[in-house]
Amino acid sequence: MLRVGLTGGIGAGKSTVSSTLSELGALVVDADRIAREVVQPGTPGLAAVVEAFGEGVLSPDGTLDRPALGSRVFGDDEARRVLNGVLHPLIGARTAELVAAAPADAVLLHDVPLLVENRMGAVFHLVVVVHTPEDERVDRLVSQRGMTEADARARIAAQASDDDRRAAADVWLDNSGAPDALRPLVEQLWQARLVPYERHVRERTWDRPRPVLVPADPTWPAQARRLASRLRLVLGEAALRVDHVGPTAVAGLDAEDVLDLQVTVRSPAAVDGLADALADGGFPRHGGTHDDPKAEHPDPAGRAERLHVHADPGRPANVHLRLDGSPGQRLALVLRDWLRDQPEVVAERTAAVRDTEVLPRAAAEQPWFDAASPRALAWAELTGWEPGPPGAS
Ligand SMILES: CC(C)(COP(=O)(O)OP(=O)(O)OC[C@H]1O[C@@H](n2cnc3c(N)ncnc32)[C@H](O)[C@@H]1O)[C@@H](O)C(=O)NCCC(=O)NCCS
Ligand SMILES: Nc1ncnc2c1ncn2[C@@H]1O[C@H](COP(=O)(O)OP(=O)(O)OP(=O)(O)O)[C@@H](O)[C@H]1O
C-alpha cells in the first residue's frame, strides 16, 4: 500500500487532481468529506461542536449550520483552534478505519487541506502539493464557487504559507495555467512514480537509473529533511539520530543525485528488528538475496551495518544503519563536517571526481575518500570535533 498526501491552499485544485488520480486508479480518502461525516446529526462529533459553540451553530432541522460555524471560526484563531481540537481527532480516527480497510495494493490518495498546518507530511510515502497563486485562487473561488472575496481571503489567512507548503512538497504541481495543462502532469506522476513506487513498497524492491554526476542541487538538504522525518516516524526511539551525510550534504559539491541518510542505532539487534518497518515505510533492504543483481553493488564504503534504499523511483536515496560510536558512523559525520568547514577541500574533491570516467560513484570516489579520511579524522582530532545536534542537515 502506498499512502500519498495531497494538499494545497483552498481553491488551488486539489479536487481536480484527485478526480484525475481516482480515474487512473487511486483510492481517494477525502478529509473534507470525512469532516462532514463526523458531524452528521446524532454523532458525538456534532454534540461536541454544539457543546463548544452553542445551539446557534445548528440549523432548524438539527443539522450543522456550516456557514454559521464558518463565520465563527475563520477570522478567529482561538475559535478555530477549539473546532480543530474537537474535529481533527475524529477525522484521524475515521481515516485510520478507511486505511485499515483498503486493499494491500492500493494507492491511497489522502486529500488533506490542512496537511502542512497539522505537520502530517511524514505520515505519507509522498506529499503532493497543488499550487495556484493566491489572487488566481480567489478569482476561481469567487467566479466558480460563488464565495465572497472576504470569505476566500479569510480562509487563505487561516492556512499555511506557500513557503511552508513548498518545504513539505515532494512533488509540486503548478495549476496556475489552463485546466488542460494539469492533466498530463498528473498522468505522468501516476505512471512514472506512483505505480512503480506502490509496487516497490508491496514487493519490497526498488529500482533506479544508473546515477550520473550532476551539479550541486541546493534543494538536496530540504529533500533529505523530508526523508529523515519519515525515517524518524517509522523508527521511533530505535533511531538515536538521523543525519544527512555523504556528498549531497555538502553545499556546492557536485554529486550523483542519490541522497545518503545515516540512521544511528544503539545495537545490532535493533538493526534487524527494523527491517520490516523500514520496508513498509518505503525503505526496503538493499539486495538481500544472491540472485538479486543489485547485490553486486554493496554499500559503497563498505561501512554500513545495513543498507536500505528508497523505493521511490523519483527520489533515489541510500539509508545507512550504523551503530552508535562505530568508526563508520563517526567517519560519515566527520567527513561531512570537515568538507563543510573547508571550501578548498570541496574544490579539490570536485576536481578529482570530475576528471574521472569511472562509474559507479563508489569506484570513482573511493581513492579520493581513502586519502581524505585520515585528513578528516586529523581535523576532527585537532578541533575537538563532536557531533552536532541530531538532524537531517
Ligand atoms: C467550518 C466549517 C463548518 C465550514 O464548512 P464549509 O462547508 O463552509 O467548508 P468546507 O468544510 O467545505 O471546507 C472548505 C475548505 O475550507 C478550508 N478549511 C476548512 N476547515 C478549515 C480549518 N479548520 N482551517 C483552515 N482552513 C479550513 C479548507 O481549505 C477546506 O477545503 C468546516 O470547514 C469545518 O468543519 N472545518 C473544521 C474541520 C476541518 O479542519 N476540515 C478541513 C479538513 S482536515
Ligand atoms: N487550472 C484551472 N483553471 C481554472 N479553473 C480551475 C483550474 N483548476 C481548478 N479550477 C476551478 O477552480 C475551483 C477550485 O478548484 P478545486 O475544487 O479543484 O480546488 P480545491 O483545492 O479542491 O479547493 P478546496 O480547497 O475548496 O477543496 C474549482 O471551481 C475548479 O473547477
**CA–CA gap between residue 302 and residue 321 (Å, rounded):** 12
The pLDDT value given to residue 288:
46
What distance lies between CA 181 and its chain's CA centroid? 25
Report how far ligand 2's centroid is from the alpha carbon of 174 (Å). Answer: 12
The pLDDT value given to residue 387:
94
Say how many Å lie between the first and final Cα of the chain, rounded.
29
**CA–CA gap between residue 305 and residue 296 (Å, rounded):** 17
Distances (CA, A) of 59 to 41, 64, 69, 195: 11, 6, 11, 45
Q: Are 95 and 34 in contact (CB under 8 A)?
A: yes
265, β-bridge pairs: 239, 323
Going edge to edge, which strands form the sheet with 126-131? Answer: 27-30, 107-111, 2-7, 126-131, 171-174
The pLDDT value given to residue 293:
38
Report how far ligand 1's centroid is from the alpha carbon of 74 (Å). Answer: 9
Closest-approaching ligand to the CA atom of 130 = 2
pLDDT tens-digit series, residues 114-131: 999 999 999 999 999 999
Task: Give binding residues for ATP as ranges.
Answer: 11-16
Report how far ligand 2's centroid is from the alpha carbon of 64 (Å). Answer: 25
pTM: 0.93
Residue 115 — φ and ψ, nearest 5°?
A: -60, -45
**CA–CA gap between residue 352 and residue 368 (Å, rounded):** 7
The pLDDT value given to residue 376:
96
Average pLDDT over residues 308-329: 94
| DSSP one-letter code for 330 | H
User: Does the structure show a pLDDT above 80 at 392?
Assistant: no
Cβ atoms within 10 Å, residue 61? 7
- CATH code, 2-202: 3.40.50.300
Closest listed residue to residue 371, CA positions, set 344, 337, 348, 341: 348
- Among 38, 66, 116, residue to substitute to test ligand 1 (most atoms within 8 Å of Cβ): 66
Q: Are 127 and 171 in contact (CB under 8 A)?
A: yes
pLDDT tens-digit series, residues 333-364: 999 999 999 999 988 888 777 666 555 555 66
Residues 146-173: b if buried by 16+ CB within 10 A, e if exposed: ebeeebbbbbbebbbeeeebeebbbbeb
**Residue 180 grid coordinates:** 488542460
User: Does the structure show a pLDDT above 50 at 132?
Assistant: yes
Calculate the dihedral angle through the C-alpha atoms of 226, 230, 235, 241, rounding to the nearest 10 degrees.
Answer: 10
Residues with CB under 6 A from ligand 2: 8, 10-16, 32, 113, 140, 144-145, 175, 178-179, 182
What single letter denotes the amino acid at residue 21? L
- Among 144, 156, 183, 185, residue to substitute to test ligand 2 (most atoms within 8 Å of Cβ): 144
Between 149 and 303, whose confidence is greater?
149
Q: What value of ipTM does the predicted structure carry?
A: 0.95
Percentage of the chain beyond pLDDT 70 is 92
Distances (CA, A) of 301 to 115, 352, 367: 38, 17, 11
What single letter denotes the amino acid at residue 240? L
User: Does the structure show a pLDDT above 50 at 294?
Assistant: no
Residue 52 — φ and ψ, nearest 5°?
A: -80, -35
User: Does the structure show a pLDDT above 90 at 274?
Assistant: no
**CA–CA gap between residue 345 and residue 364 (Å, rounded):** 17
Ligand 1 within 6 A of 84 CB? yes
Report how far ligand 1's centroid is from the alpha carbon of 88 (Å). Answer: 11
Average pLDDT over residues 84-98: 98
Which region among 86-90, 173-177, 295-299 has the lowest average model confidence (pLDDT)?
295-299
For the chain, the structural domain boundaries read 2-202, 213-383
Cβ burial of 371 (10 Å; 0-12, 13-18, 19+) is exposed
Closest-approaching ligand to the CA atom of 82 = 1
Among the atoms of ligand 2, which is closest to the Cα of residue 130? 21
CB proximity list for 59: less than 8 A, separation 6 or greater? 65
- What is the architecture, at CATH level 2, of domain 213-383? 2-Layer Sandwich (3.30)
Ligand 1 within 6 A of 73 CB? yes
Ligand 1 within 6 A of 141 CB? no
Report how far ligand 2's centroid is from the alpha carbon of 19 (Å). Answer: 11
Residues 341-359: b if buried by 16+ CB within 10 A, e if exposed: ebeebbeebbebbeeeeee
Closest-approaching ligand to the CA atom of 38 = 1
**CA–CA gap between residue 351 and residue 386 (Å, rounded):** 29
Closest-approaching ligand to the CA atom of 158 = 1
Between 270 and 215, whose confidence is greater?
215
The pLDDT value given to residue 304:
47
**Residue 173 grid coordinates:** 504541481
Average pLDDT over residues 363-376: 82
